[in-house]
Chain A
Amino acid sequence: MKKTHLLAILVIGVAIAIIMSTAGDASTYVTFDQAHEMAAAGNTNSIHVVGELKKDARGQIIGLEKSPDNLSFSFVLLDEARREQTVFYNEPMPPDFTRSEKIVVIGGYQGDHFIANKILLKCPSKYQEQKLNAGV
């Protein structure tokens, strides 16, 4: 067998290993119920949950609580199955947090608490905004 063939096989082998490891490390989008089941089954992988903040009839956000020193906060997130869950986040509240229309939390359950390691915010972008808001 020629050396080039050996190399080609090696490259393909590494490529397959890469795909396998990606599949292994990839996270998933789940609901809180699924995440809870996963955690109960001993799966400690971080998962993504997409949801929005809980609001009352007048559009006020409910359940947002900052720690006394402002360094961490917790909030109530409604996932896509409308199940609510208090999420703890160990960082100061991002300034745009309350304006966001959609929130992705990345983290997992520790006991009954959902701890977020990272939060992604989808804020209303000015492209989608169909209202003039300056100089009117």
Chain B
Amino acid sequence: MLHYFIGNLGHFFVITSFVAGLAASFTYWRATLAGELHLQNQWLTNGRVAFVTHGVAVVGIIVTLFVIIYRHYFEYHYAYSHSSLHLPGQYMISCFWEGQEGSFLLWMFWHVVIGLVLIRNRQSWEAPVMTIFSLVQAFLASMILGVVIPGLDLKIGSSPFILLRDAMNDPIFALQPNFIPKDGNGLNPLLQNYWMVIHPPTLFLGFALTLVPFAFAIAGLWQRQYVEWIKPALPWTLLGGAVLGLGILMGGYWAYETLSFGGYWNWDPVENAVYVPWLVLIASHHTMLIYKNNKTALRLSFVLVLSVFILILYSTFLTRSGILGDASVHSFTDLGLSGQLLLYLLFFTVGAIILAVMRWKEVPFSEKEVGTYTGEFWIFLGAATLCLMGFQVLVPTSIPVYNKIVEIFGGRSNLAPPANQVEFYSKIQLWFAAVVALLSGTAQFFWWKKMDRAAIKQEIVSPLLITLILFALLLLTSRITNPSFMVLAIAGLYIVVSNAKVLYRTWKLNPKLSGGALAHIGLGLMLIGILYSAGYSKVVSLNNTGLLYNRDMGTEFNRDNLLLFVNEPRTMGGYDIEFLGERLEPVNKRGYVKRRDVEETMDPFKVIARRDIMFKSNKLYSAKDTFDIYPENTFYEIQLSREGKVVATLFPRVQQNPAMGGILPSPDIRRNLDRDLYTHVSAPMNREAEPEWSKVEELRVKPGEKFFVNDYVAILEKVQRITELPGVRLTDEDVAVKIIIQVQGEHDTFTLEPAFLIRNREEVGRVPDESGELGIKISLLNIYPDANEFLLGLQTRQKDWVIIKAMEKPLINILWLGTGLLMIGFSVAMVRRFRE
């Protein structure tokens, strides 16, 4: 039974939201232009009704889509592609943003929430600001409209409510139009992470918040209220800076925890696309502050505020139109929306530029010369540096766009992004960051006091001295030799020290004023944390086996990966490291289960315990218990010890989901106060490929007799008659026995139980037993009852292995601490500005 109603309802909501968005924009536009008060009020009421209708429709879309996902209506493409029966409940929310349509919805949802707050708060600005808001909403709603214009064969938007049979040309739908798959494709394992539940909503809230200052600035230009818009827009800019910054850092943290590229930031185009608007947003906040204080930099504030939202649109275009193609690892795939996205981008870019140019001459401009001994001068410099910093990232990120434009004009451009992105960006961004830190450390002194040449000297001497002393201490404890790192370290320390002084002073005056100082200290700590954790990240899994890699290539390469055979310790970066075997993760209990301790069943999500299962001296399950596991996840128990003492046990993970196409390793991180130890699997053993067993070696043994297999001591313990054999139905006529062999491994004793079966008195069946951890397979070839002897077939192979990479990330906690302070600083400042 196909559930048509819910999809139709959802589509109805989509169309309603689009139409209501347009209607709200139109009515608010009329309200803005209406001269008479009663007319204006009528149009305003209409606008509010339309916007609220739009909001209800957006919530309606979200609820309907969620019901489709939650109820597993796999006849819908969205549910089939992004969810599955076994997906844990909390991740069903993440299904929303795995697809583009859902992330548009999320963006729209936040606009609705913010729009409603603005309607409640800002009576005088409501009409022009909400005109812009509603227009943006109409554009966003058009992205998920999924309507084909008859005659033109033009499809507008991609609806999340299309049926699977309309989305895929599978031949089965020709035979069975009502076919519904039993299970969905599932959610990309990378998104099955709690950070992925909260990171996208935070990021999109940040996106949505950038619309507020933009709408105010446009309203200011439009209504010729060139100075009044700053005050209401300022706190929203701060909120946007905080939320967008938090969203970006959450993304970085997710990458650190989940992806295994070895860090939190990779300068991927998708990351750059949100980093640039954030920098410009912070710059715009500072120029707005200058204006509030000194009545200068108004034109610059306009330009920057308008640029932020345009950059957000540009980043949306980059990540969703498919234009990044080969350049990015994780942009969305093209949904055929490129044209619409381009229209969305160009509409607001061209509109904003035209409006700004028309009104440019009217925007008040201060002829006053900016003095060197004012805070404004230094902040201005800082804002300019931030913009250049963004520009440096924007230019190479746009290379694919540049190529496309050349192509459109009939040319051919083969420009590629820099080959080593991380190095390319880091080496320049580092200098910009140092300049920003030095400027903002100094600007703070001017900001709070009028200064002249003598006063500033007095003011700056002690922070400079403390900075240099701290730097000397830093040099003593960690040998910084790279000159650019030295400059960044000094700049980072300087901004912390100088702002600590300012913090002390403002705190005494009024703690509510301390937001700026706190945020800047946070920034300084972040810079120091980044300098160490990224600049001094050290690969500790250096290969020291002395094996030459490849004779053709010599040995000039760093060997960053380490091959570990199970239970064979190696030394690595001062640690003894040992791979202890593969582990599974139970659904309902905390801990890990050895793969060899469980027996698989027909249902991949259920296993049976072979024996009592212990984890860290807790009993998880008793023998014969059936319990749930996540079959996609395999963990590799890696033990690190130093001088015989276990320092850490790490469980890096590998997720396999054939339907999603692939094998995804995630790191495990040992967190220490001063450094993280970060380990991930670079290559797991492929269990599907048949392992190469040696030739069978035959051996006759008696019960109780010891023998060697693959250099392990084994003993044939006893024989048992068995009445059941997995996968074989036994009748009364059949005779089945198994022998129990104990093999003494490095750490544990292993039990192997090969079986022997006589069917109908003549057919013989043999069920061998094997252990990948020992690299042995034993079969029971024959039984000699007279001699009480058993003929064993012994085979060996390479033991189970895994290749890992391990890194040390020093002082990464300083980065997280700095992030926290930055957010607190933003919040304090925001509370103050919203209260004003």
Q: Which residues from chain A sit less than 8 Å from chain B, CB to CB?
A: 2-4, 7, 11, 14-15, 18-19, 21-22, 25-30, 45-48, 50, 67, 69-72, 74, 88, 90-93, 95-96, 99, 102, 104, 106-107, 110, 113, 115, 117-118, 120, 122-128, 130-136
A residues near B164, Cβ cutoff 8 Å: 132
Question: Can you sample 28 A-B contacts with CB below 8 Å?
Answer: A3-B369, A15-B388, A18-B388, A18-B392, A25-B424, A26-B416, A27-B419, A29-B414, A48-B416, A71-B543, A71-B549, A72-B549, A72-B550, A92-B683, A95-B663, A113-B553, A115-B553, A124-B661, A126-B659, A128-B333, A130-B170, A132-B168, A132-B170, A132-B181, A133-B185, A135-B181, A135-B183, A136-B181
B742 to chain A, nearest CB (A): 31
B662 contacts A123, C-beta separation under 8 Å:
yes
CB pair B419 A117 closer than 8 Å: yes
Q: Is B102 an interface residue (CB 8 A)?
A: no
Residues of chain A with a CB closer than 8 A to B665's CB? 95
Distance (Å) between the CB of A113 and the closest chain B CB? 6
Which A residues are in CB contact (< 8 Å) with B84?
Answer: 134
B661 engages A96 (CB within 8 Å): yes
Chain B residues 327 to 362 lying within 8 A of chain A, measured CB to CB, are 329, 333, 335
| Chain B window 780-802, contacts with chain A (Cβ cutoff 8 Å), 1 for yes, 0 for no | 00000000000000000000010
Contact A70 B419 (CB under 8 A): no
Bound-state CA distance A25–B424 (Å) is 8
A93 lies within 8 A of B333 (CB): no
* A126 close to B185 (CB less than 8 A): yes
Binary contact readout B671-688 vs A (1 if CB under 8 angstroms, 0 otherwise): 000000000001110000
Neighbouring A residues of B417 by C-beta, 8 Å? 26-27
Closest chain B residue, CB of each to CB of A45: B419
Within 8 A of A (CB), among B318-334: 326, 329, 333
Contact A130 B168 (CB under 8 A): yes
Contact: A96 with B662, CB < 8 Å?
yes
B661 and A99 form a contact (CB under 8 A): yes
Q: Please tell me if the beta carbons of B561 and A47 are within 8 angstroms of each other in the complex.
A: no
Interface 1/0s, chain B 402-425, versus A by CB < 8 A?
000000000000111111100010
Do A95 and B683 have beta carbons less than 8 Å apart?
yes
What is the CB-to-nearest-CB distance from B227 to chain A, in angstroms, rounded to a whole number? Answer: 19
Q: Is B295 an interface residue (CB 8 A)?
A: no
Query: Which one of A7, A90, A118, A131 lies within 8 Å of B170 (CB-CB)?
Result: A131
Minimum CB distance partner of A18 in chain B: B392
Given contacts A3-B370, A11-B388, A15-B388, contact A67 B415 (CB under 8 A): no
The interface bits of chain B over 170-191 (1 if a CB of A lies within 8 angstroms of the residue's CB, else 0) are 1010000000011111100000
Q: Can you name the residue of chain A whose Cβ is closest to the Cβ of B171? A: A131
- In whole angstroms, how far apart are the Cα atoms of A69 and B660 in the complex? 29
Residue of A whose beta carbon sits closest to that of B85: A135
Least CB separation from A14: chain B residue = B388
Chain B min CB distance to A55 (Å): 18
Residues of B within 8 A of A28 (CB): 414-416
Q: Is A2 a contact partner of B684 (Cβ separation < 8 A)?
A: no
A29 x B416 contact (CB < 8 A): yes
Q: Report how far A7 CA is from B378 CA in the complex, Å.
A: 12
Given contacts A15-B388, A88-B550, contact A133 B369 (CB under 8 A): no
Contact partners of B648 in chain A: CB under 8 A: none
CA distance in complex: A41, B661 (Å): 41
Complex: A107 Cα to B186 Cα, angstroms: 36
CA A114 to CA B74, docked complex, whole Å = 47
CB distance from A132 to the nearest CB of B (A): 5
B185 and A134 form a contact (CB under 8 A): yes
Say if the beta carbon of B460 comes within 8 Å of chain A. no
7 shortest A-B CB distances, which residue pairs? Answer: A46-B419, A135-B182, A95-B663, A92-B683, A135-B183, A27-B416, A48-B416
Contact B418 A27 (CB under 8 A): yes
Least CB distance from B124 to A in Å reads: 33
Using CB atoms, name the residue of chain B closest to A10.
B384
B428 at interface by CB-CB < 8 Å: yes
Decide if A92 touches B803 in the complex (CB within 8 Å).
yes
CA distance A102 to B396 in the complex (A): 23
B415, A26: Cβ atoms under 8 Å? yes
Residue of B nearest to A46 (CB): B419
A104 to B326, CA, bound (A): 8
Contact pick for A71, options B170, B387, B395, B563, CB 8 Å: B563
Question: Which residues of chain A are within 8 angstroms of B683 by Cβ–Cβ distance?
Answer: 70, 92-93, 95
Nearest to A4 among chain B residues (CB) is: B370
The yes or no answer to B552 lying at the interface (CB within 8 A) is yes
- Beta-carbon contact of B682 and A7 below 8 Å: no
B549 and A95 within 8 A (CB): no
Query: B509 on the interface (CB 8 Å rule)?
Result: no
Q: Contacts A15-B388, A96-B662: A117 and B682 contacting too (C-beta < 8 A)? A: no
Determine if A117 and B559 form an interchain contact, defined as CB atoms under 8 angstroms apart. Answer: no
The reply to whether A136 and B172 form a contact with Cβ atoms under 8 Å apart is yes
Within 8 A of A (CB), among B518-570: 543, 545, 547, 549-550, 552-553, 557, 559-561, 563
**B656 shortest CB reach to chain A, Å:** 8
Q: A18-B392, A69-B549, A70-B683 are in contact. List 9 more A-B contacts (CB 8 A).
A: A4-B369, A15-B388, A25-B418, A29-B414, A88-B550, A91-B560, A126-B81, A126-B661, A136-B181
With beta carbons under 8 angstroms apart, the residue of B396, B414, B553 that contacts A22 is B396
- Contact assessment for A123 and B553 in the assembled complex, using a CB-CB cutoff below 8 Å: no
| CB <8 Å contact, B553 and A88 | yes
- The answer on a CB contact under 8 Å between A47 and B170 is no
Contacts of B414 in A (CB 8 A): 28-30
Bound CA span A7–B381, Å: 8
In the complex, which residues of chain B have a beta carbon less than 8 angstroms from the beta carbon of A22? 392, 395-396, 418
Given A124-B661, A130-B168, the answer on whether A71 and B803 have CB atoms closer than 8 Å is: yes
Taking the closest CB of chain B, its distance from the CB of A26, in whole angstroms, is 5
CA distance A47 to B419 in the complex (A): 7
Interface string of B388-399 (1 = CB under 8 A from A): 100110011001
In the assembled complex, B380 has its CB within 8 A of some CB on chain A:
yes
Q: How far is the CA of A74 from the CA of B172 in the complex (A)?
A: 40
Distance (whole angstroms) from the CB of B565 to the closest CB of chain A: 11
Considering the chains assembled together, what is the distance between the CA atoms of A48 and B662 in angstroms?
A: 24
Nearest-neighbour CB distance to chain A for B262, whole angstroms, equals: 12
Known: A29-B414, A96-B661. A134 touches B419 (CB 8 A): no
Cβ-based interface call for B169 (8 A): yes
Residue of A nearest to B367 (CB): A2
Within 8 A of A (CB), among B59-104: 74, 81, 84
The one of B552, B661, B684 in contact with A88, judged by C-beta atoms closer than 8 angstroms, is B552
Bound form: Cα–Cα A48–B545 in Å: 32
What residues of chain A lie closer than 8 Å to B183, measured between beta carbons?
134-135
CA distance A48 to B184 in the complex (A): 37
- Which A residues are in CB contact (< 8 Å) with B335? 127
Q: Which residue of A has the minimal Cβ distance to B661?
A: A123
CA distance A3 to B374 in the complex (A): 13
Residue of B nearest to A34 (CB): B414
How far in angstroms is the closest Cβ of chain A from B360? 16
Other-chain contact of B369, A2, A25, A136 (Cβ < 8 Å): A2
Tell me the complex Cα distance, A28–B182, Å.
47
* Nearest chain A CB to B605 CB, angstrom units: 14
CA distance A47 to B417 in the complex (A): 10
Least distance between A62 CB and chain B CB atoms (Å): 18
Nearest-CB residue, chain A, relative to B334: A127
Q: How many angstroms between the C-alpha atoms of A14 and B389 in the bound complex?
A: 10
CA of A115 to CA of B552, assembled, Å: 11
Name the one of B182, B369, B387, B420 contacting A117, with C-beta atoms under 8 angstroms.
B420
Asked whether A132 and B547 contact (CB < 8 A) given A95-B663, A96-B663, the answer is: no
The answer on a CB contact under 8 Å between B549 and A90 is yes
Pairwise interchain contact B384-A120, C-beta atoms closer than 8 A: no
Contact call A134/B181, Cβ cutoff below 8 A: yes
**Alpha-carbon distance A127/B99, docked complex (angstroms):** 10
A14 to B543 alpha-carbon distance, docked (Å):
43
B788 to A: closest C-beta gap in Å: 44
Given contacts A7-B384, A123-B661, contact A47 B416 (CB under 8 A): yes
